């Protein structure tokens, strides 16, 4: 079969580092779970028991790797951090059962769902989509991926520090919808594909990152996800 001839240069495939190796993990889509920790749902003014998981997306090329220095995003005065466990899908599928869900996971990483909070608030007030509050350039900071060991989900603390000050600190076990449940539910909405990432929600304590500050997300057993906003 002949190679396709594109009328413009094909975009570069985004990818992530894999811890301990020179290999790269190719990226396709990023799905994000909203309000998956009870205390965060409450701090945003919502009942954590009132709804099943819901999702928004970021483009794959919104990813920036740990250690990056990024510009303060345009059109916002309220850039927020959101520390999250990131799941990398290695085997695709639709209507995946909870029992089989972890067999579809390639690995895990620490991540930061950067959010233009003022734009999000305005979109909510107008009952409009959040896309420009969540899916802007360089809005997904992700650390190096770690291969899932026998399907095991990371356990322990998830933390976010801004210039060394702890802003978020919770246990991964506090997620309302655990990883297997998220995968199963999402795969009933779309067919998951290898290279998809799922950002699994953030605990309470979200807050601003100012120009010149460094924000680091730490998850026990994983590489950190660090970003500096210039």
pLDDT by position in tens, the chain (length 230): 788 999 999 999 999 999 999 999 999 999 999 989 977 656 666 666 757 899 999 999 999 999 999 999 999 999 999 999 999 999 999 999 999 999 999 999 999 999 999 999 999 999 999 999 999 999 999 999 999 987 799 999 999 999 999 999 999 999 999 999 999 999 999 999 999 999 999 999 999 999 999 999 999 999 999 999 99
**16 neighbors 63 (Cβ within 8 angstroms):** yes
What's the confidence (pLDDT) of residue 45? 61
Whole-number pLDDT of residue 41: 59
Tokens 């001839």, located at residue = 5
CB atoms within 10 A of CB 60: 20
Query: How many CB atoms lie under 10 A from the CB of residue 53?
Result: 18
Dihedral of the CA atoms 146, 80, 203, 54 (nearest 10)? -90
pTM listed for this prediction = 0.95
| pLDDT of the residue at 24 | 98
Q: Give the whole-angstrom CA distance, residue 166 versus residue 160.
A: 6
Task: Please state which CATH number belongs to domain 15-229.
Answer: 3.90.850.10
Which residues contact residue 171 at a Cβ distance below 8 angstroms, ignoring those fewer than 6 apart? 156, 157, 158
Residue pair 73/64 in contact by the 8 Å Cβ criterion: no
Q: Residue 4 CA to chain centroid, in angstroms?
A: 33
């Amino acid at each position: 079969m002949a190679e396709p001839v594109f009328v413009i240069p094909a975009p570069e495939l985004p990818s992530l580092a894999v811890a301990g190796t020179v290999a790269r993990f190719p990226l396709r889509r990023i799905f994000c779970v909203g309000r998956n920790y009870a205390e965060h749902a409450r701090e945003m003014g919502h009942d954590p028991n009132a709804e099943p998981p819901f999702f928004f997306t970021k483009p794959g090329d919104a990813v920036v790797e740990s250690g990056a220095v990024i510009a303060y995003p345009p059109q916002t005065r309220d850039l927020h951090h959101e520390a999250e466990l990131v799941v990398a899908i290695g085997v695709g599928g639709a209507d995946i059962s909870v029992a089989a869900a972890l067999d579809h996971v390639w690995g895990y990483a620490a991540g930061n769902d950067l959010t233009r909070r003022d734009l999000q608030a305005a979109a909510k007030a107008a009952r409009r989509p959040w896309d420009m509050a969540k899916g802007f350039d360089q809005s997904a900071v992700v650390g190096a991926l770690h291969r899932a060991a026998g399907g095991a989900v990371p356990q322990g603390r998830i933390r976010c520090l801004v210039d060394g000050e702890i802003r978020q600190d919770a246990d991964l076990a506090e997620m309302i919808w655990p990883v297997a449940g998220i995968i199963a539910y999402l795969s009933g909405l779309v067919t998951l594909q290898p290279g998809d990432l799922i950002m699994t929600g953030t605990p309470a304590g979200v807050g601003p990152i100012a120009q010149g500050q460094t924000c680091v997300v730490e998850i026990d057993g994983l590489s950190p996800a660090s970003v500096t906003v210039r």
